[in-house]
Structure formats: structure tokens, C-alpha cells
Homo-oligomer: A and B are copies of this chain.
Amino acid sequence: MSLPNQPMLSKGIEAILMVSSEPVSSERAAEILSISVSEFESALSELSDFYDSSDRGFYIQRVGGGFRFAARPEMKEILEKYALSQNPPRLSGAVMETLAVIAYRQPISRAQISAIRGVNSDHAVKMLLSRGYVEASSRDTGPRGVRYLHTTQLFLEKLGLFTLSDLPKIEGFLPGPEVAEALEASLFESSH
């Protein structure tokens, strides 16, 4: 099979991105275009550069394990006027904390989440399930049929992440030695 010439290739990529309702993976796009993944990626990055340098109102966003078209964030004002700023209601601190536990510790059961947070987290989990940020997978089933939760593709998309490994490292959030020492000191004092 002959390799499509460059303009034809970028045309094909544009057509695919234009009809996709969700991010398209390199593997799938390469297969549709009958080229190798690395050929696809180099053509994609060339196209992406073209959009950036020619100052278009959209760009190629790398998210959720694939690629998609998105309006440039700097066009925010116009999009707001277009009434697209219909952000869903913000999630409460408790729900976000539950989401963090699931994101970093997946797969994880409801009971394990509650144990870590020290409070029953069923309501927060339900909220996350209904938003589609997490799901209970049948493949991750523990003893006694306990179903484990994991984050979804939508979660990655909503957070603008390509893969889970793009999550900020949890180690970065562990309190520093000063906090640990201060805590330790208080615990020590109060108990003696």
C-alpha cells in the first residue's frame, strides 16, 4: 500500500477529527489511514504546528488517550457569549476528595475509600458515578463480588489528561517534613 502524500494525509486526519465525537487514538487513526502509528504522529504534529503558527481559532488537543479538535482557550470570551460556559455545578470538597482517592488508588472498593477518608463516602461515589467520572467495573471484581471503582475516559477528558500517568504525582502532595514533625510533636505532647 502506498503512503499517501503529505497533503492527502493531513486532509484525512482533518476529516477524521472533524467527524469524531470523542478523542481518537493514534492506533485507530493510523489504521484508518493505512499508515504506521509513527507516520500518523509525525503528520499530526505537523498539522498541529500549522494550526498554531497560522493562528487558527482551534487546535489539536491531546487528551483522554487520543486527539480531538477543540476551540482555543483564548477564545473563551466569544464562547461564553455563545453560552457554552454552561459548566455543571461544582463538585463539593468531599466529592473531589473522594475522586482524588479513586484516581490515585484505583481500582478501589467503596469500603476502602471510606476507610481511607474516615467517613462513609457512598454519596460522593454516587455523585461521581452519575457524572460519569468513575465507574464500577465488572472486570475488577474482588472477593465476595465487591466491585472496584476506577476513573473513566471522561474523567481524563474533563481534566485535560492524556493518560492516568499525567496525573500530578501524589508524592508531591504528601506534607513535607515540617508538617509531619509539627504533627508528631503535637501528638507526642498531648499524650504525655
Contact = CB atoms under 8 A, between A and B. Distances in A.
Interface residues of A, number: 55
A29 to B, nearest CB: 9
B28 A85 contact: yes
A84 B56 CA distance: 27
A72 interface: yes
17 contacts: A13-B57, A14-B56, A15-B57, A15-B71, A15-B75, A15-B79, A16-B78, A18-B69, A19-B71, A19-B84, A21-B123, A32-B81, A32-B85, A88-B118, A88-B119, A92-B132, A92-B154
A14 B86 contact: no
Contact of A78 (B7, B12, B21, B93): B12
Contact of A12 (B11, B16, B57, B123): B57
A131 interface: yes
- 6 nearest interchain CB pairs? A14-B57, A15-B57, A11-B57, A15-B75, A15-B71, A18-B58
A2 interface: no
B190 A89 contact: yes
Nearest to A72: B15
A31 B85 contact: yes
A171 interface: no
Interface string A114-156: 0001111001000101111001000000000000000010100
Contacts of A72: 11, 15
